[in-house]
Amino acid sequence: MKRKFEHPAPSERELTGPKYWRSLDELAATPGFKAQLEREFPDGASLPDGVDRRHFMKIMAASFALGGLSLAGCRRPEKFVLPYGKSVEGVIPGLPRYFATAMPLRKSAIPLLAETQQGRPTKLEGNPTYAPHGGASSLLAQASVLDLYDPERATAHTQDGAVLDAAAVNALLAKIGADYAATSGEGLAFLAEESSSPTRSRLVAQLKQALPRAIWAEYEPVADEPPLTAAQSAFGQNVKPLYRFAKAKRIVSLDADFFHSEAGSLYYAREFAKGRRVASREDAEKMNRLYVAESGFTLTGGMADHRLRLASSHMLALAAALAVKVTGSSTFAPLAEGLDVKAQWIEECAADLRAHQGESLVVAGAHLPAQVHAIAYAINSALGNIGATVDFVTVEAQGATNIKGLAIAIRANLVKTLVVLGGNPAYNAPADLDWVALQKSVPQVVRFGYYRDETSALAGTHLAAAHYLESWGDARTVDGTVVPVQPMILPLFGGQTEIEVLARIGGLANADPYALVFQTITALAGGDADKTFRKFLHDGLLEGSAYAPVPVAFNADAVSALFAKAAKFEALSKDNLEVRYVTDHKMDDGRFANNGWLQECPDPITKISWDNAILISPRLAREIGVYPQGSFLQIARIEGVESDPMGRENSHVAEITVGGRKIRGPIHVQPGLSNYTLILPLGYGRTKAGHVGTGAGFDVYPLRTTGAMAFATGATITLTGAKMVLANTQAHWSMEGRDLVREANATGPDSYAENPAFVEEVGMEAETPSTIGEEGRKMTPAQRATLLPRGNSLYKTPDFQGLEQWGMSIDLNTCTGCNACVVACQAENNIPIVGREQAIRGREMHWIRLDRYYSDGRADAGAFGGDNNREIPEDPQVSLQPVACMQCELAPCEMVCPVNATVHDDEGLNTMAYNRCIGTRYCANNCPYKVRRFNYFDWNQRQLDSLYLGPVGPQGMPELVQMAKNPEVTVRMRGVMEKCTYCTQRIQNGKIQHKVKTAQAGNPADVIVPDGTIKSACQQVCPVEAIVFGNILDPESVVSKAKALSQDYSLLGYLNVRPRTTYLAKLRNPNPRMPDYAALPLSRVEHDRKNHPGEAHPAAEPKTGREHAAQPVNPTFGGLS
């Protein structure tokens, strides 16, 4: 039936009044009703005057009936579509747009592409135009988008509690500039963070010119670039090293965590992986070798082929000893005296370096003193590595005062106005400065910051900073390439940018940050200004702006002056401990404390989330009496008789004293530490971070003084008797001799080179007939997926009729365990955080997790379930393994679902239909990989501190947080199971985009998406390209090729679940001449000992260096410290 409606002419109200209540009344068109509706829309609480309730209901009913809608009103809510008034160029609702920008951090930046959904950025990816990163990004970059939508960020400019509007702020800043112009800046001081922004450095130079007597100080709590003094004395130039890891065959790291905490770590990890990836025997022979000496346990140490546990304060001696052996000159010999490291270790390491002149590399940690760097430069110079594996580039000379200098000025009452730009000195300044008192003593403090934090609390004026995704700016990457910082959205709360503040104080006529950046870039680039700038913004980088390497010559004489000041190291013991302050993996220096994604992300080595802990070695734990007595080998974290019944880490709280300063924190016994070093991760214990960050962990900064910013000796530790439960997400640390991570040495006896298909001889598959039969083993992955029958079960298995069959391969050989995939997945898939209390209960929701295993080659069959070897390994090898849903072709979860909420699709995905799920959790119970996650609470709608209040508690998601969600993925509710979907939204959208493209091009039969178009979020972020994803039906796809490699294996393959995700085995490349050489990776030794007890396995006996079996209780190892 055709409907014909005569529309009533719009009333005056319709033309002028609010537009939202416009349907029922018009349909009803009852004159009396209309008149009543002149009022607020009646909701029963406020009824129209002169009409009794009965009459009102009558009219209501009539109006519904007239409209022919009857029950419609209570069926679905009326919704509106709100198009733009004026069309917006380039915006197509429903399609994301991508803009180039960059995340600045200290003196470097990560170039990014920001995905915006109708104006709001939701996801960040690496900018593929920047070749050194190849489209990858980092953990911190992935999480930084959440900060933009943090409801607790500073939302207004304030002065003494009163809100300032933009005009007042501008007037205030201009007044500061004008007032101090009279005194040439005397009495004015700035404290800023380090920055690589060319615009900022230009403005600072202008400011210094205009106000020559003003103090410009910079402070960063952690160092991520080598000290310039080392380069100054070694080369007589202001240069910094840029390492070319891809060219280095032998790499020695002196306490340098170049996979995570050093500047440029993304580039370095990526380059390192290039020398690590193995596809053939030839690759295995050419594989690089990594020697790491370190005090803590970093990701770099986890990748090491030879790892030496050595206190940070002894690094100088090790560097000197190495230099003696490499160069043959005894200049540095006195520095190495008394070093307690096996001579053979140093000799063989040096010999290996000498054998690889020009293709070796020695890297020293940024936190180490200049002397160590100078020696590293000397070694690299002697090996001919300069210009080959390490380039030196000129950097700007240090023009800023340090925080100590500023403190002296404040103490001398020379500072009347202090402008604190970013940072958080009240929290992280060295303890001996007593910054809180200093800042209070300054008459006027203007704080420019993103959060209203510890420093803001002491400042009279707080100016809200804009997030970098709201700012115009620029920055340089570690290699000097200039990249734009482009806003994706107008400042949500009217925040200003740093350059804007500086320009206003400097009295610049035009303080518009866009104009400032435009001036800088066009002056740098030259040529047609508009064109250059457009290209700059489009590409996301200024082509050719990278620093050019400069020739340097090592000057041995000049260096000697540096060593006059070298401190002699001390022997360490239980009563003279070393403390090492480390940049936290997630909180960095504390600036990301209110980021829930980062707080909940477990540390890759300790696996603790939401907290930091005092990390101590098993040896020290024994000596101070917190060694987990009588615990089973595989669960090291059940401590003593008070063990938590749930197997949670119930740790002792200890007090550390260094130079009279004390802090308290929980102890975590960490295998692989230098014996007498306490590792203290910075960035926790914030007191004014916001709901997420306040109170997480303990604050280490009160220990740290200007003289010992990275490490200090003379510390003692005492137990307080208190206990504290930590949210440790992986209490289990042993593989129990199983074959989860399969490893081999690259070369040597029983190695990959000897037997590239070694994975088939490890584990259950080697002991049992193949689940897929001989025929199945000969098939390609594509044939296995489509031809091999999946039957003999009551459960109807899916037909894989799809034109594409998705699969994934994860290369354990290059995976460094950086956690970027975990948070990238969280950002892409709207994964909620659950908070500390729920994480303790093991309810974290991450779809992909990183399993971490230790092995020391000592566990045998008796260790598992028996009484043997209940020791925490002191010097283990670590194996990391990312685990997400494997998309099993014969998925055990599907067979037990009573409501068919999890079923297969025809492209091989194990799907979750959320609205079918009734929450029985059978699927999670039946999942052999434990990758399914259950929404125990409505994480999205409830606040994490009132989960147990039920309906009484507050409900709803702040609008700001809603903006962070990816509109392409359902937000799940309570009682629903969820898990990795291979980013099915990306697959679907990728297929749709491709089909649309080919159909419009007149080629509709081309429906197969080209390889590499669809990337899962974890794949896209991975700095080392360890994760590849694609169509396994295409033999030329990257994933097919990876799966065809001989070292490809299925995790728990013997269960015949036929996972679509498979792993490439991990290879190690130890040097047979080293004292700690293990002819088989230690996990394999444990595997063989468990599965073939009594069988002599010649390769399984480690050489003397590790001597584990001989001395089980107090073993001595290669690197004593």
Partner 1 sequence: MSQLFPKSANKLPLQIAIYLVVLVGLATAGVTYYMTPKYTRVGYAPVQPVPYSHALHVGQLGLDCRYCHSNIEQSGYANIPTSQTCMNCHNQVKKDSPLLAVVRKSYETGEAVPWVKIHQVPDYVYFNHAVHVNRGVSCVECHGKINEMEVVAHAQPLSMGFCLNCHRDPATFVREKADIYNLDSPTIAARAGPEAGSKFVHDWKIKPPQSCTGCHR
| Amino acid residing at 213 | R
Q: Binding string, 520-559, against partner 1, x = CB under 8 A? A: ----------------------------------------
The answer to whether 485 and 104 are in contact (CB under 8 A) is: yes
Instruction: Give 439 or 1016: the residue with its C-beta nearer to partner 1.
Output: 1016
Q: Does 35 bind partner 1 (CB under 8 A)?
A: no
Shortest reach from residue 535's CB to partner 1, in Å: 25
DSSP 547: P
Q: Does 26 bind partner 1 (CB under 8 A)?
A: yes
Shortest reach from residue 84's CB to partner 1, in Å: 5
Of the candidates 1062, 1051, 1056, the residue with the CA atom closest to the CA atom of residue 763 = 1051
The single residue among 22, 354, 411, 416 that binds partner 1, judged by CB under 8 A, is 22
Q: Which residues in 578-597 contact partner 1 (CB under 8 A)?
A: none
Of the candidates 805, 1013, 950, 824, the residue with the CA atom closest to the CA atom of residue 889 = 805
Shortest reach from residue 148's CB to partner 1, in Å: 24
Q: Does 969 bind partner 1 (CB under 8 A)?
A: yes
d(CA 223, CA 227): 8
The single residue among 61, 437, 803, 899 that binds partner 1, judged by CB under 8 A, is 803
Total residues interacting with partner 1, rule: CB under 8 A: 65
Instruction: Give 88 or 131: the residue with its C-beta nearer to partner 1.
Output: 88
Q: Does 80 bind partner 1 (CB under 8 A)?
A: yes
Instruction: Give 69 or 719: the residue with its C-beta nearer to partner 1.
Output: 69
> For the residues of 652-663, what is the DSSP string, one character each?
EEEEEEETTEEE
Shortest reach from residue 802's CB to partner 1, in Å: 8
Shortest reach from residue 929's CB to partner 1, in Å: 20
Of the candidates 439, 448, 459, the residue with the CA atom closest to the CA atom of residue 501 = 448
Instruction: Give 550 or 1007: the residue with its C-beta nearer to partner 1.
Output: 1007
Shortest reach from residue 914's CB to partner 1, in Å: 6
Q: Does 27 bind partner 1 (CB under 8 A)?
A: yes
Q: Which stretch binds partner 1 (CB under 8 A): 62-70, 747-755, 815-823, 1032-1040?
A: 62-70
Strand order in the sheet with 250-254: 306-309, 289-294, 250-254, 360-364
Structure tokens of 616? 């101590």
Shortest reach from residue 863's CB to partner 1, in Å: 44
d(CA 561, CA 374): 11
Q: Does 981 bind partner 1 (CB under 8 A)?
A: yes
Q: Pick left, alpha or beta for residue 905 (phi over 0 → left; psi -120 to 50 → alpha; otherwise beta).
A: beta
Residue with tokens 């069988």: 1095
d(CA 949, CA 1076): 56
SS3 386: strand
SS3 310: coil
Q: Does 84 bind partner 1 (CB under 8 A)?
A: yes
Q: Does 718 bind partner 1 (CB under 8 A)?
A: no
Give the Cβ contact number of residue 275 at 10 Å.
Answer: 22
Q: Binding string, 263-302, against partner 1, x = CB under 8 A? A: ----------------------------------------
The single residue among 52, 78, 282, 337 that binds partner 1, judged by CB under 8 A, is 78
Q: Which residues in 203-222 contact partner 1 (CB under 8 A)?
A: none
Q: Does 5 bind partner 1 (CB under 8 A)?
A: yes
Q: Does 629 bind partner 1 (CB under 8 A)?
A: no
Shortest reach from residue 472's CB to partner 1, in Å: 24
Shortest reach from residue 385's CB to partner 1, in Å: 50
The dihedral through the CA atoms of 852, 855, 859, 860 has a sign that is: positive
d(CA 111, CA 441): 40
The single residue among 92, 397, 564, 794 that binds partner 1, judged by CB under 8 A, is 92
Shortest reach from residue 1034's CB to partner 1, in Å: 15
The single residue among 31, 68, 544, 769 that binds partner 1, judged by CB under 8 A, is 68
The answer to whether 284 and 296 are in contact (CB under 8 A) is: no
Q: Which stretch binds partner 1 (CB under 8 A): 11-19, 119-127, 668-676, 941-949?
A: 11-19
The answer to whether 202 and 520 are in contact (CB under 8 A) is: yes
Shortest reach from residue 537's CB to partner 1, in Å: 23
Residue 405 C-alpha from the chain's centroid: 34
Radius of gyration of the chain from its Cα atoms, rounded to whole angstroms:
31
Q: Binding string, 988-1027, against partner 1, x = CB under 8 A? A: x---x--xx--xx---xx-x--------------------
Q: Does 71 bind partner 1 (CB under 8 A)?
A: yes
Q: Binding string, 891-930, against partner 1, x = CB under 8 A? A: ------------xxxxx-x-xxxxx---------------
| Amino acid residing at 266 | L
In the chain, what's the furthest Cα-to-Cα distance?
Answer: 105
Of the candidates 427, 443, 434, the residue with the CA atom closest to the CA atom of residue 404 = 434
Which residues, 6+ apart, have CB-to-CB distance to 757 below 8 Å? 1046, 1047
| Angle subtended by helix axes 498-505 and 198-210, to nearest 10 | 20
Shortest reach from residue 1002's CB to partner 1, in Å: 9
Q: Which stretch binds partner 1 (CB under 8 A): 65-73, 455-463, 548-556, 835-843?
A: 65-73
Shortest reach from residue 824's CB to partner 1, in Å: 17
The single residue among 52, 55, 62, 93 that binds partner 1, judged by CB under 8 A, is 93
Structure tokens of 484? 């734009």
d(CA 846, CA 822): 7
> For the residues of 960-1022, what is the DSSP string, one character each?
HHHTTS-TTSPPP-TT-EE---SSHHHHHHHHHHHHHHHHHTT-TT--SPPTTSS--HHHHH-
Q: Which stretch binds partner 1 (CB under 8 A): 9-17, 178-186, 357-365, 424-432?
A: 9-17
Q: Does 490 bind partner 1 (CB under 8 A)?
A: no
Q: Which helix (H) or strand (E) holds 292?
A: strand 289-294
d(CA 608, CA 952): 32
The single residue among 519, 705, 770, 985 that binds partner 1, judged by CB under 8 A, is 985
The answer to whether 866 and 892 are in contact (CB under 8 A) is: no
Q: Binding string, 239-258, against partner 1, x = CB under 8 A? A: --------------------
SS3 102: strand
Interaction site with partner 1 (CB under 8 A): 2-5, 7, 9-10, 14-15, 19-20, 22-23, 26-27, 68-72, 75-76, 78-87, 92-95, 802-803, 903-907, 909, 911-915, 968-970, 981, 984-985, 987-988, 992, 995-996, 999-1000, 1004-1005, 1007
